[in-house]
Chain A
Amino acid sequence: MTEPPLLQVANLDVSFLQRGGGVTHAVRNVSFALGRERLAIVGESGSGKSTVGRAMLGLVPRPGVVTANRIAFDGIDLRSLSPRQWRQYRGRRISMVMQDPKYSLNPVKKIGAQIMETYSLHRRGGAGQARRHALEMLEAVRIRDPDLVFDAYPHQLSGGMGQRVMIAMMLIAEPDLLIADEPTSALDVTVQNQVLRILDDLVAQRGMALIFISHNLTIVSSFCDRVLVMYAGRIVEECDARHLHLARHPYTQALVAAAPEIDRPKAELLTVQRDPAWLT
C-alpha cells in the first residue's frame, strides 16, 4: 500500500434525535482507511454498518446528524460538499448496490432506462451511446438476453437477475469505490454465489475499492481482504479476513464460533453471549 488511501474516515459519529428528546447513537467513533482493496463491515442488525455506508454517500436520512474529524475521498473532504457537488460524486466516483432489487428498482420504469440514466447523468454522448453501454453492462453481469431484459420491467425479473441489473446500473459510470450494502441477503442461497462471483470479477477487472457490508461472516471471510466488526455502533475488531480465527475481541470470537460447519457437526449451535462491557 504505497499510494495514499482512497478513503479515510476518522471519528465518524452518526446520531438520530428522537421525538421525545433522546438521542440514538447509530455510529460511534468509527475510524478506518481504505485503499484499492476489499473491506468488509460485519455486524448484526442495529450495529450501524449500513449507516456507515450511507454516510459515505451523504445519504443518512433526515433526523440523522453526521459528524467526523475526517471523511476524505481521494483527498476531497466529503463533509463539506454542496448538494451539487455530491451529485457529481454519487454514481460517478462512489456508488452503492442496495439490498433488495424488488424495492430498489423503480417499478414503473423499464430496466434499460434505469441503467441508461446513470450513464447519461455522468457521461456525454447521446441516447444511442447510452443504450450501447447499458447493453454491454447487462452482458458484463452475465444476463443471457440483454435485449429482452432491457425492455422488461423490474417485477418481471427474478431476485438474482434484479440484483445483477442493480450492479450493472451502479457500475456503468465506472466508480472508484463501490459500497455493497448486503447485496446478497435478499437472495436465495443458490443464487448468492452467482451474484458474488459476478461482483468479484467486476471489482477485480476495474480495480475498484469495495466496502462489503454484511451480517454473514462466512461469505465475508472468503470474499474480502480485511474485516471490520461492528457492535452497537462501534468498531470492536479490525483484522485480516484470513486471520479471523485469531480475533481478539470476544464478540468476534463468538461470531466465528457460532458459524456452523458442515464437516464438524455440533450437537448444539453456539449463541453469542452478550457482555454489557462491549457497549463501552
Chain B
Amino acid sequence: MSSRDERVSLSVVADSAPVGLRLAGQGALLVASLALTCLGLTCVTFFIGRFIRADPVLAVVGDHATRDVYDKARLAMGLDKPVVEQYLIYLKKVLSGDFGHSVMTSQSVLSDLLRFFPATFELATIATIIAVVVGVPAGVAAGANRGRWPDHLVRIVSLFGYSMPVFWLGLVALFLLYGKLGWVAGPGRLDVGYDDIVTPVTGVILIDSAVAGEWDVFRNALSHLVLPASILGYIGLAYIARMTRSFMIDQMSQEYIVAARIKGRSEWGIVWAHAFPNVLVPLITVVGLAYASFLEGAILTETVFAWPGLGLYITQSLFNADMNAVLGGTLVVGVVFIGINLTCDFLYRLADPRLRAP
C-alpha cells in the first residue's frame, strides 16, 4: 500500500482502463465457460441417448421388426459409424435445432419445445416474483434482528421450505385450497370454456389476455396460476430468505455499521440505507440462481398441476419412452440452466469488493 497521500487524483482516472480490460477478459472467460459446459452437456445427452438406452434402433422400428428393416434403420441412423463421428453428427444436428421427432406428438421436438416453453416461463417468472417480494424483506428482517423472533420465524419457515418435496406440497395445497375450500382454480392453465377466446401471441396467457382486453380470461388464468406459482415460490423464498439473512448478518457485523451508529443513524436507516445496498449484488445473483432452479423444479409442479409446460412435456415423454423428446428437453432446459448459473457466478465474482480494490 503506497504511502503517498494524493493517490485519489491518479486512481480515479487510472482505474477505468484496467477495469474495462478486466471486464472484457472475464466476459471472454464466461463465454468460453458457457460453450465448454454446454458442449459437455451435449456429450452427456449423446452418451445417454446412444449407449445407455437399451437399443435406439428398436425404439424406432419396434420389437417385431424383421432383420432387414432393423439393419436398414441402423444404417439410416448412422449407428455403424465410429463414435466420434456419430457425436459430431449429433452435435451438428443439435446446433441447427434438430432434436429429432417426438413419438408422442409426431412433431419435431423443437416445435414442441417452443410450444410448451411459454407456460413454464410464465410459471417460473411469477414464482420468482413471489419469492423475491416475500423472501428478501423476510431475510433482511431476520438478518437485522438476529436471535429475535423475526429471525426464528424466518429460519423455521425456510427450513420447512428446504425440507418439503414440491410435488407433495402441491398435491396437499390442491386438496386443501381447491378441493376443500375452493379458493383457487384446479389443475390446468384455464377452465375449459376459456380455451380458445384469446389467440396466443407470446404464449403467456396473462400478457396475451391483458393485451386483448379479455379480463375474464385474465382472471381465470390468474386463478389457475396462483397456486402452482405460490408453491414453487415458497420453495424459492426459503432459499432466497436464507441467503439474504446470511448476507445481512455478514454486513451487520461490519465496522461501517458501527460508524453509522456513531453518526446517530436510526436502526431502520442502518439496515436499509447502509447494509442492504451492500447485499444487493450478491442478492441479484442468488435470485438468478433461484430462477434457474425453478425451471427445474417446474418439472414436478407441472406434473401435479397438469400445467402444459416443458416439465410436463418431459415427464409425459418419459412415460411414453420417447427418448428424443426427453433428451431434447433436457438439453434445452440444461442449456438455459447452465447459462443462468454461470452468468450469475460471473456477476457475483465481479461484484466481490475484494476484487474491486486496486
Chain A interface residues toward B at CB < 8 A: 57, 59, 83, 86-92, 95-96, 98, 100, 103-109, 117-118, 121-122, 144-145, 148-149, 152, 155-161, 166, 169-170, 188, 190-191, 194
Q: How far is the CB of A242 from chain B (nearest CB, A)?
A: 30
Q: How far is the CB of B150 from chain A (nearest CB, A)?
A: 16
A194-B258 contact given A90-B264, A117-B263, CB 8 Å threshold: no
Q: How far is the CB of B105 from chain A (nearest CB, A)?
A: 51
The 3 residue pairs across chains A and B that have the minimum distance between CB atoms = A91-B264, A103-B255, A90-B264
Listed by A's residue number, 27 A-B pairs whose Cβ atoms lie within 8 Å are A57-B261, A59-B262, A83-B267, A87-B265, A90-B261, A90-B262, A90-B263, A90-B264, A91-B263, A98-B255, A103-B254, A104-B256, A106-B259, A107-B256, A118-B264, A122-B264, A144-B6, A145-B9, A155-B357, A156-B11, A157-B8, A157-B11, A158-B2, A158-B5, A159-B1, A160-B3, A188-B3
Q: How far is the CB of B13 from chain A (nearest CB, A)?
A: 10
Residue on B nearest A105 in the bound complex, by CB: B256
Q: How far is the CB of B276 from chain A (nearest CB, A)?
A: 10
A95 to B263, CA, bound (A): 7
Is B278 within 8 A of A107, CB to CB? Answer: yes
Contact of A156 among B3, B6, B12, B267 (CB under 8 A): B12
Question: Which B residues between 249 and 293 are near A, CB-CB below 8 angstroms?
Answer: 254-256, 258-267, 274, 277-278
Is B5 within 8 A of A92, CB to CB? Answer: no
Contact of A145 among B8, B263, B278 (CB under 8 A): B8
Contact of A108 among B255, B262, B267, B278 (CB under 8 A): B278
Is B266 within 8 A of A87, CB to CB? Answer: yes
Return chain A residues, CB-CB under 8 Å to B6: 144-145, 161
Is A170 within 8 A of B262, CB to CB? Answer: yes
Is B258 within 8 A of A98, CB to CB? Answer: yes
Is A117 within 8 A of B265, CB to CB? Answer: yes
A-B contact count (CB 8 A): 109
Return chain B residues, CB-CB under 8 Å to A117: 260, 263, 265
Return chain A residues, CB-CB under 8 Å to B258: 59, 98, 104
Is A92 within 8 A of B264, CB to CB? Answer: yes
Is A121 within 8 A of B264, CB to CB? Answer: yes
Residue on B nearest A119 in the bound complex, by CB: B263
Return chain A residues, CB-CB under 8 Å to B260: 106, 117
**B353: Cβ under 8 A from any A Cβ:** yes
Is B256 within 8 A of A106, CB to CB? Answer: yes
A121-B12 contact given A155-B358, A157-B7, A191-B3, CB 8 Å threshold: no
Is B3 within 8 A of A106, CB to CB? Answer: no
**B180: Cβ under 8 A from any A Cβ:** no
Return chain A residues, CB-CB under 8 Å to B7: 156-158, 161
Is B277 within 8 A of A108, CB to CB? Answer: yes
Chain B binding surface SS class: helix
Return chain A residues, CB-CB under 8 Å to B71: none
Is A194 within 8 A of B5, CB to CB? Answer: yes
The interface size of chain B toward A, counting residues with CB under 8 Å, comes to 32
Interface centre among A106, A118, A121, A152 (most CB of B within 10 A): A106
Q: How far is the CB of B300 from chain A (nearest CB, A)?
A: 39
Residue on B nearest A194 in the bound complex, by CB: B5
Not counting A59-B261, A156-B12, a sample of 18 additional A-B residue pairs whose C-beta atoms are within 8 angstroms of each other reads: A57-B262, A86-B264, A90-B262, A91-B264, A98-B258, A103-B256, A106-B278, A108-B277, A117-B265, A121-B264, A145-B6, A145-B8, A145-B9, A155-B358, A158-B5, A160-B5, A170-B262, A190-B3
Chain A binding surface SS class: helix
**B64: Cβ under 8 A from any A Cβ:** no
Q: How far is the CB of B147 from chain A (nearest CB, A)?
A: 8
A158 to B5, CA, bound (A): 6
Return chain B residues, CB-CB under 8 Å to A160: 3, 5
Is A161 within 8 A of B5, CB to CB? Answer: yes
A95 to B261, CA, bound (A): 10
Question: Which B residues between 1 and 48 are near A, CB-CB below 8 angstroms?
Answer: 1-9, 11-12, 15
Is B5 within 8 A of A152, CB to CB? Answer: no
**B356: Cβ under 8 A from any A Cβ:** yes
Return chain B residues, CB-CB under 8 Å to A118: 263-264
Contact of A191 among B5, B264, B266, B278 (CB under 8 A): B5
Return chain A residues, CB-CB under 8 Å to B263: 90-91, 95, 117-118, 121, 169-170
Return chain A residues, CB-CB under 8 Å to B358: 155-156
Return chain A residues, CB-CB under 8 Å to B266: 87
Residue on B nearest A145 in the bound complex, by CB: B9
Is B264 within 8 A of A156, CB to CB? Answer: no
Q: How far is the CB of B104 from chain A (nearest CB, A)?
A: 52
A104 to B261, CA, bound (A): 11
A100-B255 contact given A155-B357, A158-B2, A194-B5, CB 8 Å threshold: yes
Is B277 within 8 A of A109, CB to CB? Answer: yes
A58 to B265, CA, bound (A): 14
Is B4 within 8 A of A158, CB to CB? Answer: yes
A191 to B266, CA, bound (A): 34
Question: Which B residues between 89 and 148 are near A, CB-CB below 8 angstroms?
Answer: none
Q: How far is the CB of B277 from chain A (nearest CB, A)?
A: 5
A159 to B60, CA, bound (A): 72
A75 to B334, CA, bound (A): 69
A157 to B12, CA, bound (A): 9
